[in-house]
Structure 1
C-alpha cells in the first residue's frame, strides 16, 4: 500500500465529503473518511502507526458541535509530519491561528476545491511576498463577521450561546449567518 498518497477527510457534510473523495481518488489518493474525532481515533487505531495518513483535510465544525481543532491536535500528535489542511465555512483569525498552532499547515475558507487543497498540501513554507493590508481599511461588516466567528468558535458553534454573548437575538444572528451562506 502506498501510504504517501493516503488522505484522511474529516467532514460531516456527506455530499461534500463524497465529492472530495471522488476528486482525490481520481488524482491517485487512497481516501479514508471520518465525520467526528471518535471516528478519526478509531480509524487511526485500526490502521496502526505504520499506516498513518500522509495528508488530512479537516472541517472546522463537525456534527454534534464537535471541533475540527481537536482532530487537528490528535492527528498532529499522532504524526507530526502529516500535512493537515483545515477547511471551513467559519473562517476567522482566531481559529486560523489556533489551527496552525495545533499543527495544521494551512487554513482554507470554503468554498475551496481539490486544486486549492492540493496546492496547500505542497506549500511547506509561508509566502513572504503576501500583501500586507492596512487593518484600518477593514470594513465594519468584515470586523463584525470576524467577531461573530470568533465568538462562534469560543462557544463551540452554539448559536444560542453565541447570540447571548453578542447581545443579539438568536434569529438576528441566524439571518446574519445565512446572508454569508456559511456551511
Structure 2
C-alpha cells in the first residue's frame, strides 16, 4: 500500500467517524413529530412589497401589534446511549428540580467518604454489567435509531415553586463573617489600630 493510498484511507475513516456527530432531527421548525411552531407557520403578509434597493433606514414597525407565541421545549435527538447513568438522581436540589436560591445553587451535598467509596466500587460492577449487556442492547436498539433526551416534554422552571421575592430593605451591608469588627459600611475596611 502506497503512502497516498494509506493517507486516503485514514482521511476517509476520519470523515466517516465525523458523521456520527450530526443529526438532522435537531434542525427543524417543528415541535417533536407533530406541531409546527406558530411563528414559522404564518403566511407572508398580503399586499406588502419590500424595497428593491438597500436601505439603512429600515422599516417603521411602530404600528405593528406585538405577537406573543410560546416555543415549546422538547428533547434533543441523538443516537442511542447503551449505558444508563451511574449517578443517583434526586440527591441534589438541581436534580430534584427545585427553584435555585442562594443556598440550593451552591449545595454540593454533604461529603461522605464511605458513600464515595461505595459509589466507586459500584461503578466498577456497573461497568462489567454494561459490557455484558452491550450486545443485547445494540440488538434491541440499533445505532441507527433516533432517541430523544430528555424523554418527553419538560419545562424550564417548575410551576410549583414560585420565584422568591426579597424586600430591598431587608438586604444588609453588614458582613456575616468573623471580621465584622473590621468593617464599616460607610468607610470601608480599616485596621484594628484605627478603631
For CA contacts below 8 A with separation 6 or more, give which structure has more relative contact order. Answer: 2
TM range (shorter): under 0.3
Q: In proportion to residue count, which structure has more helix?
A: 1
TM-score (norm 1): 0.23
Larger radius of gyration: 2
Point out the structure with the larger strand share.
1
- TM-score of the superposition, structure 2-length normalised? 0.22
